[in-house]
């Protein structure tokens, strides 16, 4: 079962590493000619231009010459496929009609008429469609190129086999986990699985940590959050410096915060809270925790009170004008009393017992790992 779950996680990572840009041109025909108005070379040129517009501006611009008499009946879904942002101009022998979706809906009627006029003004079909594509593209800004993520490095921080996050959430979370991990030299990792398949999550979280070779340095410094959707359980496993930085009470606090978000199916928020909490405790371990004014004020007041009480007792002792006497000799006139017999009678006794230390003793092995978690 463990191998099966691990293989699923690694399969997801392989798919991510092979994925192309979110706006790579899909396998669609942007320009369709059912009339034969365009030569094959012209049709290929126009489709290449439209694909380039889609890659750079994130909008699919289509131009269709159709023999369909009822333009409203044209199968637009088959044309655009899964594309969400598009603008389609469909023309038959007598009229034209436009379809739009997503960003394409920002074009108003006046703009459409202007674009139609640009097409009509051209002397050739190929020129008209080319001018239409270029003019329409100008209404959609060029997208900023996103920096490429080094998948070989990013894969080590997030394994979303249960598919709980969107592509954008995965990208942002990977960057955050990587930044925290590099800053404190402790690898912070999140893994999700769809099902434990009757396996024990406590055993599996340690197995997964070892199987993925997580952690930095000779002590495998790091923290792993594992979330299972069936059953709905999670575990946080700490090793090395990760375990040293996060005490039992700290681990309980992290679990409580993460569990609150998981219970409401706020997975991105839960993972973000986990990352922030790890960064907080690691920073406190490495650089010291920030000054807590309220807590330290109470401590200072208590210390001041104790010192004040001790000082008061010292001063009180100095004000005594009568000293305690061990006998009554000072109250007897010298030579006025003669005692021939005396005995010492002990009224009390003090007994002191000392524990004999055993020759053998046990000591804590100082294990540098701990695990916490629960259900949600």
Residue corresponding to tokens 């092979």 = 18
pLDDT interval class at 48 (50, 70, 90)? very high
Q: Is residue 296 part of a domain?
A: no
pLDDT interval class at 46 (50, 70, 90)? very high
Bridge partners, 224 (sequence order): 189, 237
Q: List pLDDT tens digits, range 91-130.
A: 999 999 999 999 999 999 999 999 999 999 999 999 999 9
Residue 155, pLDDT above cutoff 70 = no
The confidence score (pLDDT) of residue 162 equals 94
Q: How far apart are CA 206 and CA 121, in angstroms?
A: 70
Average pLDDT, the chain: 82
Q: Is residue 308 part of a domain?
A: no
Its domain, for residue 192, covers 151-287
Residue 13, pLDDT above cutoff 80 = no
Q: Is residue 299 part of a domain?
A: no
One domain, residues 129 and 192: no
CATH number of residue 180's parent domain: 3.10.310.50
One domain, residues 89 and 212: no
274: phi then psi, degrees, rounded to nearest 5? -60, -45
Q: Is residue 206 part of a domain?
A: yes
Supply the pTM of this predicted model. 0.46
> How much of the chain is in helix, strand and coil states, percent to nearest 5?
45, 15, 40
Stretch 151-178: mean pLDDT: 84
The confidence score (pLDDT) of residue 349 equals 58
DSSP state of 103: G
Boundary (domain end) residue, out of 268, 287, 306 = 287
One domain, residues 129 and 75: yes
Residue 134, pLDDT above cutoff 90 = yes
Contact between residue 225 and residue 258 where contact means Cβ atoms under 8 Å apart: yes
Q: Is residue 133 part of a domain?
A: yes
One domain, residues 243 and 279: yes
Residue 15, pLDDT above cutoff 70 = no
Residue 376, pLDDT above cutoff 60 = yes
Q: List pLDDT tens digits, range 282-339.
A: 998 888 766 455 566 677 788 878 887 787 777 766 665 556 666 666 666 666 666 6
One domain, residues 192 and 163: yes
Q: Is residue 192 part of a domain?
A: yes
Stretch 260-283: mean pLDDT: 95
Contact between residue 225 and residue 271 where contact means Cβ atoms under 8 Å apart: yes
One domain, residues 161 and 205: yes
User: Of 24-38, 127-141, 193-207, 237-251, which gets the smallest average pLDDT?
Assistant: 24-38
The confidence score (pLDDT) of residue 320 equals 59
The confidence score (pLDDT) of residue 286 equals 83
- Tell me which of 52 and 148 has the higher pLDDT: 52
132 burial (CB, 10 Å; 0-12 / 13-18 / 19+) is: buried
Q: How far apart are CA 32 and CA 66, in angstroms?
A: 8
The confidence score (pLDDT) of residue 293 equals 52
Residue 3, pLDDT above cutoff 70 = no
Q: How far apart are CA 298 and CA 125, in angstroms?
A: 83
Q: Is residue 5 part of a domain?
A: no
Number of compact structural domains in the chain: 2
Boundary (domain end) residue, out of 287, 310, 327 = 287
Contact between residue 80 and residue 28 where contact means Cβ atoms under 8 Å apart: yes
The confidence score (pLDDT) of residue 368 equals 81
One domain, residues 75 and 122: yes
One domain, residues 281 and 180: yes
One domain, residues 202 and 86: no
Q: List pLDDT tens digits, range 84-99.
A: 999 999 999 999 999 9
Q: Is residue 310 part of a domain?
A: no
One domain, residues 106 and 172: no
One domain, residues 156 and 280: yes
Boundary (domain end) residue, out of 89, 109, 137 = 137
The confidence score (pLDDT) of residue 288 equals 76
One domain, residues 129 and 168: no
């Amino acid at each position: 079962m463990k191998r099966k779950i691990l293989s699923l996680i690694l399969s997801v990572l392989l798919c991510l590493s092979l994925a192309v840009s979110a706006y790579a041109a899909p396998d669609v025909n942007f320009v369709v000619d059912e009339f034969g108005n365009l030569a094959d070379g012209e049709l290929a040129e126009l489709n290449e231009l439209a694909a380039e517009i889609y890659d750079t501006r994130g909008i699919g611009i289509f131009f269709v010459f159709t023999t369909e008499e009822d333009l409203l009946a044209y199968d637009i879904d088959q044309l655009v496929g899964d594309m969400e942002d598009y603008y389609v101009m469909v023309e038959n022998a007598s009229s034209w009609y436009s379809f739009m979706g997503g960003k394409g809906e920002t074009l108003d009627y006046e703009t459409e008429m202007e674009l139609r006029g640009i097409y009509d003004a051209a002397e050739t079909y190929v020129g008209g469609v080319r001018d239409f594509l270029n003019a329409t593209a100008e209404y959609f800004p060029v997208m900023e190129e996103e920096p490429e993520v080094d998948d070989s490095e990013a894969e080590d921080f997030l394994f979303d086999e249960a598919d709980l996050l969107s592509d954008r959430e995965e990208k942002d979370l990977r960057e955050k986990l990587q930044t925290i991990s590099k800053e404190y030299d402790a690898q912070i990792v999140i893994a999700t699985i769809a099902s434990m398949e009757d396996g024990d999550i406590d055993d599996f979280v340690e197995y997964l940590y070892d199987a993925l070779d997580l952690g930095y340095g000779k002590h495998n410094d790091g923290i792993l959050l594992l979330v299972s959707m069936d059953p709905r359980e999670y575990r946080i496993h700490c090793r090395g410096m990760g375990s040293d930085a996060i005490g039992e009470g700290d681990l309980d606090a992290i679990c409580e915060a993460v569990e609150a978000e998981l219970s409401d199916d706020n997975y991105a928020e839960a993972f973000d809270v986990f990352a922030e909490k790890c960064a907080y405790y690691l920073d406190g371990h490495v650089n010291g925790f920030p000054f807590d004014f309220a807590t330290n004020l109470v401590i200072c007041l208590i210390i001041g009170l104790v010192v004040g009480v001790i000082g008061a007792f010292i001063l009180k002792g100095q004000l005594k004008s009568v000293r305690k006497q061990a006998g009554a000799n000072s109250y007897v006139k010298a030579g006025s009393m003669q005692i021939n017999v005396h005995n010492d009678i002990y009224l009390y006794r003090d007994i002191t017992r000392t524990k004999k230390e055993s020759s053998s003793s046990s000591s804590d092995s100082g294990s540098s790992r701990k695990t916490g978690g629960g259900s949600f």
